[in-house]
Amino acid sequence: MFMTILAVFRSRAQTLGYLTELRAAGIPAQAVSTPKEAGVGCGISAKFEETFFERAKRVLAKRAYSAFAGFLRVRGGRYERA
C-alpha cells in the first residue's frame, strides 16, 4: 500500500513553484487542500506518493523555500510528520 506525502507551505506561490519543480523532475504531484491538522499553510499543499519522497526532498533542497512548513505523511486517514 502506497502512502501519500503532503508538502506544506505558508505561501501559495511557493507551493505552486514547488509543484512545478516536482513535475519537472518527473514526480507526479498535484495541488490539494491543506488539512487543518497541519496547523499551518496557505490553503494548498503539494501531494505525491511516498515512493517519490527522497527525490522530492532533493528537489526541495535545491531552492530556498522560506515558507516550507514540513512534510506530512497520510496514513489510514491520519496525518503525521514525515
Q: What is the pLDDT of residue 43?
A: 86
Residues 14/20/25/28 CA torsion (nearest 10 deg): 110
Fold designation for 4-81: Alpha-Beta Plaits (3.30.70)
Reply yes or no on whether the pLDDT at 1 is more than 70.
no
> Mean pLDDT score of the chain, rounded to an integer?
92
- What percent of the chain shows pLDDT beyond 70? 98
pTM: 0.92
In tens, the pLDDT along 17-34 reads 999 999 999 999 999 999
Alpha-carbon distance of 26 to 47, in angstroms, equals 14
- Which class for 38: exposed (0-12), middle (13-18), buried (19 or more C-beta within 10 A)? middle
Q: Domain extents for the chain?
A: 4-81
> Average pLDDT, stretch 65-78?
91
